[in-house]
Structure 1
Amino acid sequence: MSVAELIGFLLLAGAAAYAQTLTGFAFGLITMGGVGLTGLLSLPDAAMIVSVLTLVNATQMLLKGWRDVAWREFGFVMAASIPMLFGGYWLLEWLAGTRADILRLILGIVIIISSVQLARKPEPLAKQSGEGSFLFFGSIAGLMGGMFSTAGPPLVYHFYRQPMPLVKIRETLVTVFALNAVFRIGLVVLSGDLPSSSNLTGLLAIPAVMGATYTARRWPPPVPAAAMRRIVFILLFLSGVSLSAPAVVHLLRTLP
């Protein structure tokens, strides 16, 4: 990356970490959506760097919050998430070679659907969901995490419907994201698909992520949570449309 591209990526990662700390989601979606729109990195390289930055953000948040994790539900989610993460990673590598437009289209659709789903405040359930539901949503999250390092939306929707304290929901989600990031990073290393040395400069965003996380926790903005969710929804929805529309046009032009 050039200096200008690196600065742009630092700002993007910092904004994503800030939003994630305040809302409990959206780091991967914002970062991957921004990368897809600007072309700062290839999507596989960006997903790898997002995994590392997600781990940094999660570790910083869990230094004090790990005691509030709902370990039983966490176990069910991870049992389904990890196998599907491998499948999502394989699918990413297969599409990244000669099907770049399809890959951008999938990412755009994922962002659009996720933004609409996250904009709605889930109706709380009278009693907690069964074990099978955590396995189901964990598997979807694993697939999305393997492809784009964006495991959040299905889990956010499911957990926020549970009759659980909000702090327990937030810290459980962050722990899931952290462990998914660890497995995904390990998978990239073992497969030898590390980003090029020039793209690895994106890891310089670690201080930006740490600074944004601390700032959001120490000095949250005087904006209601509902308003913050709407702002994130609008940004994600527009980025999803902007990312998928050109891919659709290009694919239609290539049809016989």
Structure 2
Amino acid sequence: MSLSELIGFLVLTGAAAYAQTLTGFAFGLITMGGVGLTGLLSLPDAAVIVSMLTLVNATQMLLKGWRDVAWYQFGLVMAASIPMLFVGYWLLEWLAGSHVDLLRLLLGLVIVVSSLQLARKPEPLPERSGNGSFLFFGGIAGVMGGMFSTAGPPLVYHFYRQPMPLVKVRETLVTVFALNAVFRISLVAVSGDLPSSSTMSALVAIPAVMSATYTARRWPPPFSPVTMRRIVFLLLLLSGISLGAPAVIHLLGAPR
């Protein structure tokens, strides 16, 4: 990565970490969307870097927040998420080899759907959902985490509807993302697909992620959570459309 590309990546990951610290998710979506638009990294390499940086952000958040994790629901989610993570990773490898435009389209769709979900606050349920629902959404999250290191959207939708304190929801989500990141990084290492040393230089973004996380915790923005959600929604929607539209055009055979 050139110096200008590296600076751009630092800004991107810092903004993503800031948003995740305030909302409980969005780090992977913002980072993968930005990488997909700019072409700073290949999507498989970007997913590895996102997993590593997600782990940094989550560890920093959980140093104080681990006591608020809903451990029972966390266990249900992980029981389904981990096996399906392998499925998602296999899909990524297959699509990245010969269906790059389809891969970009899928990522764009994931980002757009996630942004639309973020635009509306889920109505809370009168009582906690059954165990099967946590297994179901955990499985979907595993596939998305395996493909793009973006396990957040299905879990965010499900958890924010539960009659649980928001702090418990946020810390549980972050813990799920952290453990998913550990398994995904391990899978990449065992498969021998770790990025090259030049690509791994992107890990200099770790201080930017840590600084943004600390800043969001210490000095939250002077506007409401609803406004923050709307800002993240707009950014995700625009990036998802910009990422998916060229892929659709190319898949349909029209000139770029």
TM-score (norm 1): 0.98
Aligned partner of 2:203 in structure 1 is 203
**2:86 is the counterpart of 1:70:** no
Question: What SS does structure 1 have at the residue aligned with 2:164?
Answer: coil
How far apart are residue 254 of structure 1 and its match? 7.0
Distance 2:191 2:22 in 1: 34
Amino acid at match of 2:201: T
Residue deviations 1:118-138, cap 9 Å, x none? 211000000000000000000
Q: Which residue of 1 aligns with 2:122?
A: 122
Q: Equivalent residues in 2 for 1:126-145 (5 A)?
A: 126-145=126-145
Please tell me the residue identity of whatever aligns with 1:226.
Answer: V
1:88 alignment partner in structure 2: 88
Post-superposition offset of 1:102: 0.5
Q: CA deviation at 1:105?
A: 0.3
Following superposition, the deviation at residue 25 of structure 1 comes to: 1.0
Cα distance in structure 2, aligned partners of 1:170 and 1:248: 35
Give 3-state SS (helix, strand or coil) of 1:133's partner: helix
Please identify runs of 4+ aligned residues in structure 1 that moved more than 2 A.
Answer: none
**1:59 matched to 2:59:** yes
State the distance in 2 between where 1:104 and 1:67 align: 38
How far apart, CA to CA, are the structure 2 residues paired with 1:168 and 1:240? 29
- How many residues align? The count is 255
Match of 2:213 in 1: 213
Structure 2 matches for 1:10-21, cutoff 5 A? Answer: 10-21=10-21
- Percent pairwise identity: 81
Determine the C-alpha separation between the residues in 1 that align with 2:42 and 2:145: 16
Helix, strand or coil at the partner of 1:222: coil
Aligned partners of 2:63, 2:249: CA distance in 1, in Å? 46
**Aligned AA (1:39):** G
Counterpart for residue 24 of structure 1: 24
| Residue ranges of structure 2 left out of the alignment (5+ in a row) | none
State the distance in 2 between where 1:115 and 1:254 align.
Answer: 27
Distance in 2 separating the partners of 1:110 and 1:43:
14
Q: Deviations over 1:137-170 (max 9, x none)?
A: 0000000000000000100110000001111111
- Paired letter, 1:177: F
Q: What amino acid sits opposite 1:85 in the alignment? A: L
User: Which residue pairs with 2:194 in the alignment?
Assistant: 194
Q: Aligned-pair distance for 1:205?
A: 0.4
Q: CA RMSD in A?
A: 0.9
The one-letter code matched in structure 2 to 1:145 is: G
Structure 1, gaps ≥5 residues long: none
Question: Does 2:43 correspond to 1:38?
Answer: no
- What do the CA deviations read for 1:193-221 (whole angstroms, capped 9, x no partner)? 01111111111100000000000000111
Distance 2:175 2:251 in 1: 38
Q: Which amino acid aligns with 2:97?
A: G
In 2: Cα distance, 1:254 partner to 1:188 partner: 35
Tell me how far apart the structure 1 counterparts of residues 25 and 65 of structure 2 sit (CA, whole Å).
Answer: 16
Matches of 1:252 and 1:82, distance apart in 2: 35
Aligned-partner Cα distance in 2 for 1:115–1:90: 26
Alignment match, 2:244: 244
